Every structure is written in structure tokens, then in C-alpha cells.
Amino acid sequence: MAAAPTTGVSMGEALNRALRDAIADDPDVLVYGEDVGPLGGVFRVTDGLAGEFGEERVFDSPLAESGIVGTAIGMAMYGLRPVVELQFDAFAYPAFEQVVSHLAKMRNRTRGAVALPVVLRVPYGGGIGGVEHHSDSSEAYYTHTPGLRVVTPGTPADAYSMLREAVECDDPVVFLEPKRRYWSRQEVDLPVRTEPMATPVVRRPGTDATLIAYGPMVETALEAAETAAAEGRSLEVVDVRQLAPLDDGVVTASVRRTGRAVVVHEASVFGGYGAELAARIGERCFHYLEAPVLRVGGLDVPYPPPKLEHHHLPDAHRVLAAVDRLQWESEWVDDGDGGRTLP
């Protein structure tokens, strides 16, 4: 497996540049949240912005998530474009009523007369040794709420481009930032515009099976595909990018080509976003499937303590173990040692 890049732009740096450029280009854009001002955010994504643009454009908020989202709704109703940070995934739950009952519904409630161009930046997922309340994968709560766009980047280039597009969008956008990838690097010149955020992309072409991932698991899926290639197997990797509303054209086209699919995400498998993807694939690719669609995700437990999270989070080994099981159940038996194919 190739070593991770140590040069280039990190995802955190790309997000910082996107915010800087958005503030500079549009006087209606402002950034606020917990510790995003002089401190620059707990992950330094807003580092330097308060000093460069002043406290009228970048400022700290009280530790009151419902108030952060509520004020953002009011600002947007009066023509501003607030970008707010909810410091950790689980910290966003106190704001859930504002998100579900007002942010998501205002445009429909007013028959399109009042748009709410608000971006909720939510660092999410595990992999950094955080405890519970700091490592949730909460995407399914938001994707189940019509009226929200829910996006998550898997590369630094996408982090820049998708955040710029989110700020420019007239719909509320939940921008989920995979915190374990803040330090992932990519050789890219900023500013950059990648594919529109609503469009899934093929990160690696392949012919034997399709790995469908998003956010933090894109890099994991690519690692699995690279390992598989060394063993003579060809895996295609699709990055979903915008989880809701979902444009599944690229996903279904890929699965129709390969005939096999594994959905990978950090969140618990039961009731997770992968269930929606598996259902879509089943509905639209049934006659093309060579095996049932499988899912790889976190365990169905509350997020574990830091020393145990490596058991919880999917890795390339677990992804490849699922690929090995991509055959009809009648052709595979569980022998207690990873399973085997019937002769």
C-alpha cells in the first residue's frame, strides 16, 4: 500500500482557505460558533480569519447550539449567509429542533418565498481518540430530514470546492467534516472547483465489485482497493459526496457494471445511511446483481472509549472481508474462520 501523502494541502487547510475566500468574495458571509474567533477553532479550521476580517465577520458565540442555529436562521431571513460551526457532532443535538422544525422547513413553509442560505459545519466521526459525544457519525439524522442538503467531502480538493458551493447555495447545507481526515493531504492548487457537490464521483475504476463510501471512508475504501489490486482483484470506488438529496446515477451505473457492491460507512450499520443505499441498489440494479449488497460499518454500540475505537471503525481488512463474501448465500458457508465458498 502506498504511503499517505505528506506534502500538499491538508483538508483542514483547504477548508480554512475556502472560508477565507468566501468571506472575501461576499460581504454577506459571516462565520461564527464556539471558539472559531481568536482561537481559530478546536481543529484550527478558522485559524487567522478573525484577525484578518475582524469581529464583525468572524466571532465566537456562546456555548448554546440551539441559539447558534436560531440566530443563523434569523440572519439568513434578513439576507446574510451565515456559516456556523457546531464544534463536535454530538454537540449539535441540542440544536436539532431548530434544524428539523425551522431550518429545513422554512422554504417549503413560505412556498419558496424565504430561502435560508445557512451552512452548518459539523466535524463528525471518530478516529482521533475522542470520547463519546466527540465521535458520532450523525449523518442519518440529517438525511432523514427533507429540506436539508447533507454533504461530506472525502478529499482536500473537494473540501475546498464543496464548502465554497455550500456557502453559495440558497438551501440550508449540513456540511459534515470528517475530523480524522483534517490532516490528510493532497497535491492541489487552490482555489479549485471539482465536480458539483450533488454528483457522486468514481475515485478509482474497477471491474469486480463496487465500494461505495463517503467522507472519512473514501480513503479507507481506496486503501482496500489498492490492497485488492495487489492480489489481482479490481475494485471500483465511488464517493457519494452529497448524501441528500441523493443523485444515485453514478452509483447504480457502477453496480450495473460490476454486479457486486459493498457500502462502507463509520456509523452503526443498523438503520444507517448504508441501508438507504443498499435499498436503492436493490431496487434499480436487481437484475444486474451477482450477490446481495453488503454493508460494512461501525458496531451497534455507543461509541467506544479511545483505546477500543479501532475495533469499532471499519478498516481495509474488514472491507476486503466483505468483498470475499460477495456471493449468494447458498454458495457460502460460515465456518467460523471467515467463511468459505461451497465447492
Active site residue 102: no
Q: DSSP of 141-202, one letter per residue?
A: HHHTSTT-EEE--SSHHHHHHHHHHHHH-SS-EEEEEEGGGTT-EE--PSS---S-TTS-EE
* Spatial separation of the C-alpha atoms in residues 29 and 152, rounded to whole Å: 21
CA angle, 7 then 13 then 15, to 5°:
140
Q: Measured between alpha carbons, how far is 297 from 184 in angstroms, rounded to an integer?
A: 21
CB-based contacts of 262, cutoff 8 Å, min separation 6: 209, 210, 211, 212, 293, 294, 295, 296, 319, 322, 323, 326
Which residues does residue 204 pair with via DSSP β-bridges, in sequence order? 237
Dist. CA 258–CA 252, nearest whole Å: 10
Dihedral angle computed from the Cα positions of residues 146, 148, 154 and 157, in that order, rounded to the nearest 10 degrees: 140
Q: How far apart are CA 275 and CA 277, in angstroms?
A: 5
Pairwise CA distance, residues 74 & 98, whole Å: 11
> Peptide bond preceding 191: is omega within 30 degrees of 0, i.e. cis?
yes
Q: Which three cell numbers stand for residue 180?
A: 480524522
Structure-block grid coordinates of residue 150: 447533507
Q: Which of 102, 134, 265, 317 is catalytic?
A: 134
Q: Which of 172, 173, 183, 86 is nearest to 136 (CA)?
A: 86
* Residues with a known catalytic role: 134
